[in-house]
Structure 1
Amino acid sequence: MTSVAELLPTSTETHMQTIKKVLNSSVVLVEDERGVERVLLGKGIGFGQKAGTEIEATAGDRVFVSLDDADHRNLVELLAQIPAEFVELTRAIVADAEGEGLELDAHIYLALTDHLHFAAERQRRGLLVANRLAWEMRTVYPAHYEVGVRAVARVNARLAIELPDEEAANVAFHLVNAEVGKTGVDSLRVVQLIRAITTIVSNTSNVRVDRRDLNSSRFVTHLQFFAERFFAGRLLTSEDDFLFNSLSERYPRAVASAERVRAFVLKEHESTLPNEEVAFLALHIARASPE
């Protein structure tokens, strides 16, 4: 899904700019002396301000410039409709994530602010939607999920609402998708594929995925990297089938289970997994199987 707008941080240098529009108490639209329009995010930055006055972006403010006119209009319209408290919540959550070492693209401010606002509105209307991939997110992306857990607590305390615990997985989705260096990685497709594979493996072998078990945890980690390679088109392949043939003799049940996964991927994604990928999957299935 295409985001409403793509944002990029401007220079960290501070300079005076003229306010064109106050979107809310935490967001203002400004213009510099060259006529370049920017969006400034900062707690209370728009409070008591009005169009035509000058303002200076400080080091603590987030400054963004939109990429094109269409995106700019959408961005301004969206932020003008969302209460300032959601922008401030997003800033706090992003700061928490960055404190955990996550490097996030600027578009997280728009995507997460929009999501939090929508989630709060759903809760207030009693329209709760269960995230059936919460377990997979917690297992595959534990650092992102923990930030999500704290985010839910922060939102509930600030807004006096009760978002479900599973909402942490939704926050984690946005964090994963906004990570710098992971462009093109769709965390939803990744965890959906992982879930499908673990279901197949559980039904065709004696592996029971339990994140408290070391071998099981290694198995899920392997699936994470496999899924990311799969959707990025970087599957492992080799002309040497020694590992695949050896495992077929030594661990026939694990290989049979991996073959079921190969059949599933072919049917659902119209892609044939090479023997090397099937061999490594079988190896992890065998390793995660109780002796």
Structure 2
Amino acid sequence: MNYVIKKVLNSSVVLVSDHENNEFILLGKGIGYGKKVGESIDQSASNQIFVPVENTKSKQFEELMDDIPIDILTITQEIIVEAQKLLECEFNKSLYLILADHLNFAVQRVRDGIVITNRVFWEIKNYYPKEFKAGLMAIYMFEEKLGITLPEEEAANIAFHFANATMGKQESHDTMKYAKVIGEIINIVIFSLNRNVDRQSAHYMRFVTHIKFFVERYFTNSMLNNQNDLLYNQMKSAYPKEMAVALKIKAFLEQKYGTPLTNEEVTFLVVHIARIMKG
């Protein structure tokens, strides 16, 4: 397919549009050399990288392309392709712009010897293990192809971008915020139970998974809300200690974020807390 050049950003990056005026970035060594605005260009060479761009963000792309080396742009696209395979998902188009900028800045920090601590590294590593694995893959690709060693902490930063960019997520999805709240809830459970919890057990891993989905429902106003309180009352009677912990979580969330939990959500918290107790 042929595209029309709208702007030559540098010798290796051009901004083009199709017949419906959708904008795209073409990357490839030398593809912009000697080219002029208005010329046609064929997006068919195997060494070219093709990135769709939201029209509203083309100016952001143009500004960033002046600062980001072609090798960073190229590795960013390769990382995104491999991460989508690993996570079996499709990312939002905006990820390319965000991740390329982040990786370029990460390289600059490494070269300048600047270390920035990720305050939710542990939470992301443990509560978003698939995304973290994809983040590790990204830093391995960086070292293999560019000879640049990024710290392991960068895997969590990259995982954060992957989690936020997954197609189908609500616009309000904020992985850093979610990870922090997940950690707070789990700490409430562990300290309230006052006992050692096997963090490698199947019950614990299921509990973490439940809390992840629970937190997403909580912040996207999609909580479970069966009006029949029969099961809630049964759990309250059968598991008083676990119910007390669940009500602590309910009070914590309502005080901090202002949204009360439904009885059905409290009921399922009790179920998973009880499983940890047995595990």
After TM superposition, the score normalised by the length of structure 2 is 0.88
Query: Which residue, 111, 135, 157 being the options, matches 2:144?
Result: 157
SS at 1:287's partner residue? helix
What letter corresponds to residue 139 of structure 1 in structure 2? N
Aligned position for 2:105: 118
Distance 1:47 1:21, change over 3 A: closer
**For residue 71 of structure 2, what is the amino acid of its counterpart?**
E
Aligned length: 274
Aligned to 1:79: 65
What's the % identity of the aligned pairs?
A: 35
Q: Aligned residue for 1:130?
A: 117
- Cα RMSD of the aligned pairs, angstroms, is 2.4
Tell whether the 8 Å contact from 2:27 to 2:50 is kept in structure 1 after alignment: yes
TM-score for the superposition, normalised by structure 1: 0.85
Corresponding residue number in structure 2 for 1:51: 36
Deviation at 1:186, TM superposition (A): 2.0
**Contact map agreement 2:123 2:183 (CA 8 A) in 1:** yes
CA distance in 1, matches of 2:143, 2:196: 34
**1:24/1:83 contact within 8 Å kept:** no
Cα distance in 1, alignment partners of residues 90 and 274 from structure 2: 36
Corresponding position: 1:103 with 2:112: no
CA distance in 2 between counterparts of 1:42 and 1:141 reads 31
Q: Which deviates more from structure 2 when the two are superposed, residues 227-236 or residues 53-62? A: 53-62
Aligned position for 1:5: none
Picking from 88, 96, 116, the partner of 2:74 is: 88
Whole-angstrom CA distance in 2 between matches of 1:277 and 1:191: 19
Displacement of 1:49:
4.2
> What displacement does 1:85 show?
1.2
In the alignment, the residues of structure 2 paired with residue 209 and residue 162 of structure 1 have an alpha-carbon distance, to the nearest angstrom, of 35
Q: Residues 198-277 of structure 1 correspond to what in structure 2 (within 5 A)?
A: 198-206=186-194, 210-277=198-265
Deviation at 1:146, TM superposition (A): 1.2
1:209 Cα offset (Å)? 5.5
1:39 aligns with 24
Structure 1 unmatched ranges of 5 or more = 1-13
Contact 2:22/2:55, CA 8 A, preserved across alignment = no
Deviates more, 1:118-127 or 1:195-204: 118-127
1:132 & 1:210 partners in 2: Cα distance? 24
Within 5 A, what are the aligned runs for 1:182-193? 182-184=169-171, 185-193=173-181
Change in Cα spacing, 1:49 to 1:147, as seen in structure 2 (3 Å) is farther
**How far apart, in 2, do the equivalents of 1:208 and 1:45 lie?**
60
1:284 aligns with 2:272: yes
Q: Deviations over 1:186-223 (max 9, x none)?
A: 22222111011011111111465654210000000000
**Cα distance in 1 for residues equivalent to 2:166 and 2:131:** 10
Extract unaligned runs of 5+ from structure 2: none
2: CA distance, partners of 1:51 / 1:123: 37
- Residues 240 and 45 of structure 1, relative CA distance in 2, 3 Å threshold: farther
Paired residue secondary structure (2:245) = helix
Q: Look up the match of 1:3.
A: none
Letter in 2 for 1:199: N
Deviations 1:94-139 (A, max 9, x none): 1111222221121111011011111111222222122232333233
